[in-house]
Every structure is written in structure tokens, then in C-alpha cells.
Structure 1
Amino acid sequence: MKTKLVIAGLLIMLASLNLKAQWVVNDPINTATSIANTAKEIIQTSSTVSNVIKNFQEVKKVYEQGKAYYDALKAVNNLVKDARKVQQTILMVGEITDIYINAYQRMLQDENYSLEELGAIAFGYTKLLEESAYLLNDLKGIVNASTLSLTDKERMDVIDSVYDSVKHYRNLVSYYTNKNIAVSYLRAQKKGDTERMLALYGDSSERYW
């Protein structure tokens, strides 16, 4: 019963945060799904660089609309362990989109990638974002009132499973980003242009590799 009340309380709290701030995006699942769906447009219409950039700007806009949700959630403290795991799972999906947005917008400025490669990279990010959104949807189902027939242990087992899976995808996104940037680095080395390439991806604190 305690677990049910804690998780229900977290949902009520998140809903009240959304209402108070009047955010455009009021559901992290909608945010993640919208970003994944908009990212698909990059793949579908990536025949020109201008199309890739234009569509990515739409992805970034959706992300920035939902970023307030994740930023506010980070500030929520003093949650008990069970509710904190739900919170951390949601935040990891935000981190996945954050890595994607920040890395890909720099890749678009990187001359070491072809247009076809940028489309392929976008495809990879889209699949990882989609899987993360599906998992977040599973989490929503667990804390929904319609699933109150589950025992506390069953509920927490699912929450633990979703948490571990989202963490896995977060790590995959980091690894995927690192590998793609490493390709650019090797090409820059061959051209003797590593200084410009490294400057594009920021200092050591900003890099994902």
C-alpha cells in the first residue's frame, strides 16, 4: 500500500507542477514520442542538407518545449526510494534526448560526415528514442489507477525492469554518439584537421567521448 501511495503521490505532484508552470508539453511520454516522430522526418526527407537542418530544428523545438518538464523534475527532492526510481527513469529519457540534440546539432556542422551518413545517424537515434518512449509508456501503465490490482512487489519489479532498460538505452545513446564522433575524429586526423573538429564538439567537459 505504501508503494502505491508513494507512486500515486509522485504522479499528482508532477501533474501539479505541469499545471502551475503551464508548459506546452505536459507528459514526458508525449515529449519523447514527439521527438522520435519528428526525427523520422529527417530520415524521410534528407535529400538535401537544408531539409536535414530544417527538420532537426523542429526536433530541437519539441525538445526545448519539454525541457522545462525535466528541469523542474530534477529539482524535486526528498522522495522515498520507490518514487525516486520513477523520477530517475523519466529523467534518463530526458538525458537521452539531451545527448541526441546536443551531439547531432554539432554533427550537422561537421564536414566529416556525408548527407547520407547524417541520415543514417538520425535513423539510429530515432530507434533508440522510440524504444525509450515505449518503456516510459510501460512505466505510465504501471502507475496508472487501472493497474492497482498488482501487488507492491509486482509493481516494483516492473518499475525496476523499466529503469534498468531505460538506463541501458541511455548508455547505448552515449556509446552510439561516441562511436559516430570517433569516425569524424579519425577522418579529421587524416586531413590534419583535428583542432577544428575538436573545437566543434567543445571542451572536455562538453564531449560525450
Structure 2
Amino acid sequence: MRKKILMLMMSAILLINGKAHAQWVVADPTNFAGNIANTVKEIATASKTVKNTLAGFKEVEKLYNDTKKYYDALKKVNNFIGDAYKVKECILMVGDISEIYVTSYKRMLSDKNFRPSELAAMAAGYAKLLEQSGESLKELKSVAKSGVFSMNDSERMQAIDRIYTTLREYRSLVSYYTRKNISVSYVRAREKNDLASVKALYGNTASRYW
């Protein structure tokens, strides 16, 4: 009861402060976790069939941009407590995974150091990681609700912690996968004495996003 009262108070404060766009997030971040999971699955499916061109990638980018508003709204809310905070962090990690993929792969499509077959393999790798992240998010929605599968609070928190750890690993894998792919381009560019173009495409150490 105390937790519910606190959540209601935080919602009221946000509304008074004119942050109506984030109010629905505070009430229950799991409300849209399933929708995000479905969108992540759509992105993964589109990635498997995407043409190795910037024009062909627009569908994937649009799917991500349509979901980005949810991630942005979550980032603006800092009042979550207990399992709600972990749920928020899990959803944001899926957002990070999607962003790294969309941002990185779009640049890779402009990289002349990659062959079409390599770009297709990269897209398949990203799609697999996105699918696994989406499945974790679906599981999160299932276990985050009180009373689901007869879980008590302790069991539910343990399940959420496990999913949180899994998603951290996926996010690390996506970052590592991206760095390894880009490192191939750096090696090939160095052989052609064309490092400047690769640095211009992916950024320097201070500005890297992966």
C-alpha cells in the first residue's frame, strides 16, 4: 500500500509540473513493454530481409524511430523505486541495443570497406541479438505484474534481476559486435591508406556511440 501511495504521489507531482508526457510511464512502465518487444521483433524481422542499401534500411530505421518516443519518455522519469526502477532500466537497455544497431549499421551501409555478403551477415547477427532482447522484454512484462504465476515479491524481484543481468549481457554483446565489425573496416582502410574516411564515418574515440 505504501508503495502504491508513493507512486500516486509521484504521478501527481509530475502532472503539476506539466510533465504530462511522462505521467503514464510512472504509473506502470510495464504497460508498454510488450509493445516495445513486438516492435523489436519487427525490427529484427526486417533486418533479416533488408537490402544492403540505405534506401532499403529506411523501414528498419522508421520502426526504431516510432518506438524511440517511449525510451525518451522513460529517460525523463527518475522517481521509480524497487522493481519499477529495474523494469525501467531493462526497457532502456533494449533501447540502447536498438539504437546501437540502427545507428551503426546505417553507417556501415555507407562503408565501402564492406562487401554486400558481409553486410548481410552483420544484419543477421544484429537481428539475432534483437530477437533475444525482445524475448527477454516479453518475459519481463510477464513476471513484473503482481500475482503472475503465483510468484511472491521475492521471487518476482529475483526474476527481474535475472532479466536485467541478461539484457546487460546482450547490450555488451551488441557493443562488442559493433566494435569488431568496425575494426575490420579500420584494418582495411589502413591498408588502403584511407583511415580519414573511416574516422569521419564512425567518429573518434571521444564521440563513439557504441
- TM (norm. structure 2) is 0.82
* Shift of residue 147, structure 1, vs aligned partner: 0.4
Letter in 2 for 1:35: I
Contact 2:34 2:141 (8 Å CA) reproduced: no
**Of 25, 40, 45, the match for 1:32:** 40
* CA pair 14-155 structure 1, distance change in 2 beyond 3 A: farther
Identity of aligned residues (%): 45
* Shift of residue 89, structure 1, vs aligned partner: 0.3
DSSP-derived class of the 1:141 partner: helix
Hey, what does 2:117 align to over in structure 1?
A: 116
* Shift of residue 30, structure 1, vs aligned partner: 2.0
* Shift of residue 99, structure 1, vs aligned partner: 0.3
How far does the alpha carbon of each residue in 1:82-118 deviate from its partner, in whole angstroms, 9 at most, with x for none?
Answer: 2111100000000000000110011001000000000
DSSP-derived class of the 1:205 partner: helix
DSSP-derived class of the 1:54 partner: coil
1:75 aligns with 2:83: no
* Shift of residue 37, structure 1, vs aligned partner: 1.5
Contact 1:82 1:156 (8 Å CA) reproduced: yes
Contact 1:177 1:208 (8 Å CA) reproduced: no
How far does the alpha carbon of each residue in 1:41-91 deviate from its partner, in whole angstroms, 9 at most, with x for none?
Answer: 12xxx4xx4xx4333110000000000000001111111132111100000
DSSP-derived class of the 2:55 partner: helix
Contact 1:39 1:59 (8 Å CA) reproduced: yes
* CA pair 195-27 structure 1, distance change in 2 beyond 3 A: same
Contact 2:22 2:77 (8 Å CA) reproduced: no
Counterpart mapping for 1:17-28 below 5 A: 17=25, 27-28=35-36
Structure 1: gaps spanning 5 or more residues: 19-24
Letter in 2 for 1:55: G
Hey, what does 1:196 align to over in structure 2?
A: 197
Counterpart mapping for 1:97-136 below 5 A: 97-136=98-137
* CA pair 191-131 structure 1, distance change in 2 beyond 3 A: same
The total of aligned residue pairs comes to: 192
Letter in 2 for 1:30: N
Counterpart mapping for 1:1-209 below 5 A: 16-17=24-25, 27-42=35-50, 46=51, 49=52, 52-144=53-145, 147=148, 149-208=150-209
Contact 2:22 2:76 (8 Å CA) reproduced: no
* CA pair 14-138 structure 1, distance change in 2 beyond 3 A: farther
* CA pair 165-159 structure 1, distance change in 2 beyond 3 A: same
Structure 2: gaps spanning 5 or more residues: 12-20, 27-32
Take 1:56 and 1:145, find their aligned partners in 2: how far apart are those partners? 40
CA RMSD of aligned residues (A): 2.7
- TM (norm. structure 1) is 0.82
* Shift of residue 31, structure 1, vs aligned partner: 2.1
